[in-house]
Each structure stands twice: as C-alpha cells, then as structure tokens.
Structure 1
Amino acid sequence: MILLANCEAEAGFSESIADLKNGKSAVDALVRGIGFVEADPKVRSVGYGGWPNMLGVMECDAGVMDGTTRAVGTVAAVPRTLHVAALACEVMRRLPHVMLTGEGARRFADEIGFNSDEMLYPDSKRVWWEKLDGLMTEEQKGTFPDTPLAGLLGAITDPERVRDTTVFLGQDQTGGIATVTSTSGWAWKYPGRVGDSPIPGAGFYADSRYGAAACTHTGEMTMRSATAHAIVHGMKCGLSLDDAIQSAADDLLALDTGFIGEVVIHALDTHGNHRVVNLHGQGTVAYWFWEPSMAAPEKRQSQPI
C-alpha cells in the first residue's frame, strides 16, 4: 500500500489511510478522502473554499481513474456541486461515458441523489467582486455581467494565479492503483474554462501494472504535453520512475510559447517508489506521503529536477 497527495490534502489524507488499512479499494479510499478536502473552506483551490469564475460562479472539475481496469470518470465546469470527485466516480461506474460537463453533469447529479450545494464561499465572493470592481470602468460595471470579459482576463488572474488542484494517488492491498483529482480551477477563469484536472492523460493517469501520475498548477501546459500519461507510459517502456518523470518534464520545459507557469508532478510506481517535483516554481513544495511501515503520515518537500 502507498498513499501520496499534495499539501492541500490534509483534511482527508488520514481518512484515505484508514480505508486502505481496512481493505477498501484505492478508488473508494481516495474518493472518500478527497471529499473531506472539498468540504474544507480552508482549502482555497478546491470545493467550497475555492474561487469562482469571472462571473462569480463556481465551476468545479474532478477526475477518477481505476488503474486496474483503466476505467475513467470525469466531470468539468460543474455548478452547484460540492463532491465532484464522487460524482466523477459515479460517471465511471454508472454510465458508458467518460466525461460529463456543466449542466449535464449537474442533471446527472440530481438524478442519482446528490445535493444541490451553495458553493460560493462568502470570502471568495467578497474578494471576487472587489477585484472586478477595481478593474472595470463605470460603463463596464453598468453592463455587467454582459460586459466583454476576455480583455479583463490577464489583469484579474495574474495577481492570484490560484490553480492548485488536489490530487490523491494510492495503491491498495490488492496492488490496485488509482488517482483522484478535484479542483475549483483557476481563480477568475473565463467561464467554461477547463484545465487538466478532469483530462485523463494530462492531469492524471493510473495503470496498476506500472504506476500513476497526477499534476497540479498550470493545466494549459500539461494538456499540451499529455504529462501524466507520458510518465506512466515511460515506465511501461522500461524507464525508472525518476527517468520517466525527467522525460515528461523535458517536454514541459521545452514549451516556450503560450501561457507558461508552474507545474507540480506527483508520481509513484508499483515498487513503492514515489517522487514529487516542481517545474518553473520558486523552491520546493510540500506534499503528504504514507506507507504501512510509517507510524503516521508525513508532510515532505518536493525534490529538485
């Protein structure tokens, strides 16, 4: 067994550990753990504590992958839904589809009994409007929300750049590997923007034969490079975990056009190895790690690349 997650995962990390110890599948353990993160308002990039789009609407994304079957379920730009990772899991288990988006995903949530949630945290609403209010002219404020938004995008997002998905990667007692992601996405994003978090192969990928990978921060880059799949495929082709990460990182570092930002890679293999690296970032980043020989989970620092 093994469990790996980014630093925002603290609220649910021990819950996932308990489930793994009790013999639950990696998918079930990770989905339940990440649900605690989604409900924690102190986590300002996921679920209830996250940030809205430019119109002040919360649109959340999530992905689930069972590495044993390679079944996938994802949801994107979902309104009024707190537990989007659990919803993505239900897409995987109940539907012949991989992804549902927007109001279609919310309709499915209604059909299977999910609550309709008030998602705009009061402090997020306050900060969102203060930022817009400082950028728009009186004429733009007068026509809002019918004001053209694209011209405001760079100015409103640059000061925050909040785009830190929560990722859980784990292996259960049977050797099954899974990944689960959840995010409210890039703060003040253009309505309908979807990052890499619900995109299989970009923001997450799992294969119980080789390992798993998941990414946070700048999804616009990992979607261009299919980063998560590249790491797992590298291990399939015989690369070590470190070499597979380096190969995928080289592809990211070679990008020199479009939006370039920080990318954090989390990955593990079937031999109990793991690694977390930070590209284009300032210094190290924290993450959570646990395996059965440890008395308690540890908060560690990423390694250089």
Structure 2
Amino acid sequence: MGHHDHGGTDLPPFTLARALEYSPDAVFLSGSLLVLALYAWGVVRLRRRGDAWGAGRTVSFTLGVLSIAAVTCTGLNDYGMVLFSAHMTQHMVISMVSPILILLGAPATLLLRALPTAGRGRRGPREIVVAVLHSRYTRVITSPLFTITLFVASLYGLYFTPLFDFLMGSRAGHLAMMLHFLAVGLVFFWPIMGVDPGPHRAGYLMRMLELFATMPFHAFFGIALMMGSEPLVDTFADPPASLSVDALSDQSAAGGMAWAFSEIPTVVVLIALVIQWYVSEQRTARRLDRVADRDGDRDLVAYNAYLASLQSRRG
C-alpha cells in the first residue's frame, strides 16, 4: 500500500518540519479526496437547485477531512510507527478533532438533500440512507451506553493489551486502527453534537453529561502513561537510535497529549452545545410567540363578534 518501508531505523530526529513533510498513505489520501469530492457534488447540486447551504458547514467539513489527511499523509504517519508521542498525536486528532469538524459539516443532511427522491413505493439511495439513519442498529450504536463504553474500551483495551502491538506489526493493522479511531469518534460525538438527523437525541443537559462521562477515563489514561515507570507497549519500548529519544520520556509526552486532548475538544464541544441549545430555545420561543399572537387575534375577533351580537340584540 505505502511507497516506503516503516522500519524506522533510518528516520532522522523528529522535528515539526519533518512531521509536516508530504508522505501520502494511499488509502487515506484517496479516501479523503473521494469524500471531499462527494461533499462538493452535494453542495453544487443544492446551489444549482437554488437551495442555500451554509458556507460554515462546508468549511468545517473540509477542515475535518484535511485534519485526517494532515496526520495520515505526512511524515507524522511515518514517525507514528516508531514514536509513541507521534502516534498519540495521530490518535487524538483522528478521534477527537476530525469527527467534531466533520459532524458540524452535517454530511448526512447534505446527502439527504442532494439525493433525488425515488418514485412512490420505490426505494432509491435516499430512502436507504433514511432507513439506515432510523434503524434499530443505528439507535443501538449511538446510545450513550454503547458509545461511552466503546470510547473507553478503545483506549484501555487497545493500549493495555497485546492487541496494540499486534496491530502495529503491519500496515494493514495500523490502517485498521486509524479507521477504528475515526469511527469511534464519529459514533461518540454524533448523538452529542451532530447536526444531522438520526435516532432520538437526549436533551442538552443529558448530552453534556455524556460528554463529561468519558473525561475522567481519558485523563486517567493520560496520567497512567505519564507516570509509567516502564514502557507500556512493546512497539515503542525501543525507539531507533537515530531518533535519540528516551522511550519513557516519549511515553510521558504521549500521556500529556492524551490528557490535554480530553480537555480541549471537550470545551469546544461544550461551547457548540451551549450555542445549539440557545438557538433551539430561541426558535421555540419564537414559535410560541407566533402561536400566542395567532390565538390572541382569534380571541380578539371572538370578543368583537360577541360585542357586535350584544349591539344587535339591543338594536
């Protein structure tokens, strides 16, 4: 799949410039381009029809996909095979940053609006998407019980068991792990702050609680790495000499990253949630005002009619 071997023995010391060098991963590069092309197709289709689509959504989605490419199609991906801190940067971006940006881009809403409706009684792609979004399967995988468990298990079940070393032993394993991180992030954040239609969503307060439920686990995971007195995973226990890196201090840096990333995206999502909550409250208030105005007019008309009937009786 890749064009070069990840033995890592010949990698020069890790610097920001080297981390940002272009080093494409065929799967992630083609996947990112395909997804961006599909999104652009949807937006163009809507615009041609005369429908509006917020520029903010397009920007957010594009940044989300680019953030995936930034950690998988650069030197960071090469260093991520031999340095715990580089790998953790990839993991955190792809599971905590990319999903939030992608979800704020409302891709499912765009898809549903761009796909044509099939004729009566027929099932086209649009009808299949709607059926999947409202299926029991989707309801299960987006329930807090499932998403929180999956999110926590992805950290502890992977890094504290031999599974991690097994997956890191091959390009395919590494690829599967990155795709898993992305999927877990999408499934976790979708019911909390996604703008797309989907299964029944909890109230805003419950969603905030869901968000906070994972924070202690995430923080503890980061602290466990930072405090570790020996390398926790074999893959990163013996970094190539050319990197002149101490395995324990690198593991500590990875832990610090995991800890920081549990806080930063959480704050961003919290702000997004508060804004969404405020907007929805405003919408409800406006709707209630309209109803009150309408009912008020109706009462006034009825009262006037009543007065008129009294007049006519007197007359």
Shared fold (TM-score greater than 0.5)? no
Question: Please, what TM-score do these two structures have when normalized by structure 1?
Answer: 0.28
- Determine which structure has the larger strand proportion and give its number: 1
Structure ID, larger Rg: 2
- Determine which structure has the larger helix proportion and give its number: 2
Question: Please, what TM-score do these two structures have when normalized by structure 2?
Answer: 0.27
